[in-house]
Amino acid sequence: MDRFRATMKVICSKDNLLQGTLIAQRCVSPRAPLPILNGILLSASNNGLIFQATDLDLAIECTLPAEVMTEGTVVVPARHFSDIVRRLPDQNITLDYEPAHRLLTLTYGSAQFNIHTMNAEEFPLLPTRPDTPTLEIDQITFKDMIRQVAFAAATDPIRPIFTGVLLEIAPDYLMLVATDTHRLAKNKLVKPNTDFDDISRTIIPARALNELNRLLKDEQSSLSIFLSPSQIVFYTEEFLFYSKPIKGIFPDHQKVIPLKIQTKLSVAIADLLPAIERASLLISTKDGNSIVHLSIKQHCLTINSNAVNVGSVHEEIPVNVEGQELEISFNARYLLDALKIINAEQISIEFAGQLSPCVIRPVSEEDYLYLLLPLRT
């Protein structure tokens, strides 16, 4: 292909060069299956300088302003290139590609940095850009939804479906659900701005959402989402981010949410979180987990935890309780995960008995739900 045998010349500010490189580098994995995937593809086009990278599961593309003298492409080794760009002086950098020796020269002031580049012909073609988005959402809103849900997905790839997050789009809501079979997190955003008249379900790798989260801004600027059977694309004014969906049927989360509530308590996160954090220091299982025992009585939640030859803790927290008294045990880490990500001062916890999952919600809003299985002790 001729485009790989041509010279390329472009002038780009150090800041833009660094920004594009750092965004693209998010999809460069040190465990990439092919050497070429350790590279970033730079393309000088009439739109500016385009940065592309992929690990074959995820892919990313962003375009930044640059003065293009000669259009062309080059693949630079990602880590080495970002190390260099980071240390360049804060000025315009000229990038000059000379295909005969595959050398890219960065010129700044009276200095030149020559970089041996990679074989651009080996770089995989990225998917085509989608025409119209399936839906649009505020970046900051979606960022918070990811933060509150994706952590509950499984990290063990033995059952791939549980390493994914369900994205469900309906005419009147947008929902994310993740579960590792021990706990389940769900965030349902009612009435987003969709033109949908059906229900669509896609399972996105939690890893893709976590990477996306690092790219999103804490701002009310728009994120477009495009869904197709073979591809999920998230894009903003700054970047396009591609992921493959996980194939399979996501388990029906409605079935596991208990209906008969026997005990309900409300408690301040500021009281419960530090107490559970202290209890979690007492590792009591072989795989490094701590078990906390909760004893729920009228107006009082008692927390006990102990580890042989290490120590024990006993704490009492004032709470509001409705319904029956209860003794129940949990993995401290799973409780902590929820307490750390809920944006509320008070939570309610609903119990359906000693062996049934409990449901944790922020008191003020109905969007979020965290379901947790107790331990049999």
Residues that bind its own copies (CB under 8 A): 80, 83-84, 87-89, 103, 110-116, 274-275, 277-278, 281, 309-316
**Which one, of 247, 250, 241, lies nearest residue 210 by Cα?**
241
Pairwise CA distance, residues 136 & 118, whole Å: 37
Q: Which is nearer to its own copies, 89 or 124 (CB)?
A: 89
Per-residue tokens: 140: 């900051």
- The nearest distance, CB 301 to its own copies, in angstroms, is 12
Q: Kindly write down the DSSP assignment for every residue of 296-328, as one continuous string.
A: EETTEEEEEEEETTTEEEEEEEE-EEEE--EEE
- The nearest distance, CB 308 to its own copies, in angstroms, is 9
Q: Which is nearer to its own copies, 269 or 275 (CB)?
A: 275
SS3 assignment for 100-118: CCCEEEEEECCEEEEEECE
Pairwise CA distance, residues 369 & 372, whole Å: 10
Q: Which is nearer to its own copies, 313 or 375 (CB)?
A: 313
- The nearest distance, CB 67 to its own copies, in angstroms, is 23
- The nearest distance, CB 17 to its own copies, in angstroms, is 14
Q: Which is nearer to its own copies, 27 or 84 (CB)?
A: 84
Pairwise CA distance, residues 58 & 130, whole Å: 16
14-25 vs 78-86: helix crossing angle, rounded to 10: 150
Per-residue tokens: 24: 């693209």
- The nearest distance, CB 71 to its own copies, in angstroms, is 23
Q: Which is nearer to its own copies, 204 or 282 (CB)?
A: 282
